[in-house]
Amino acid sequence: MNRLNIRPTNKERLMRENDFIVSKTDLRGVIIYGNPIFVEFSGYDENELLGAAQNVIRHPDMPRALFYLIWTAIKGGSEFFGYVKNLCKDGSFYWVFIHITPEFSPEGIKIGYYSVRRCPKRSAIEKIEAIYEKMLAAEKETNIENAIDAGIQVLTNILNSTGRSYEDFIFSL
Ligand SMILES: Cc1cc2nc3c(=O)[nH]c(=O)nc-3n(C[C@H](O)[C@H](O)[C@H](O)COP(=O)(O)O)c2cc1C
Q: What does the mean pLDDT of the chain come to?
A: 95
The sign of the CA dihedral 24, 51, 70, 11 is negative
At 45 the pLDDT is 94
- CATH T-level assignment (fold) for domain 3-172: Beta-Lactamase (3.30.450)
Whether the per-residue pLDDT at 2 is higher than 80: the answer is no
pLDDT-derived band at 4 (thresholds 50, 70, 90) equals confident
Strands (E), the chain: 20-25, 31-34, 80-87, 93-104, 110-118
What is the value of pTM for the model shown? 0.95
Q: How far is the CA of 57 from the centre of ligand 1 (A)?
A: 8
- pLDDT tens, position by position, 54-92: 899 999 999 999 999 999 999 999 999 999 999 999 999
Q: Where are the domains of the chain?
A: 3-172
| 19, 22, 50, 54: residue to mutate for ligand 1 pocket, most atoms within 8 A of CB | 54
Q: How far is the CA of 54 from the centre of ligand 1 (A)?
A: 5
- Angular region, 84: left φ>0, alpha ψ -120 to 50, beta rest: beta
CA distance 92 to 101: 27
- pLDDT tens, position by position, 122-135: 999 999 999 999 99
What percent of the chain stands above pLDDT 90? 95
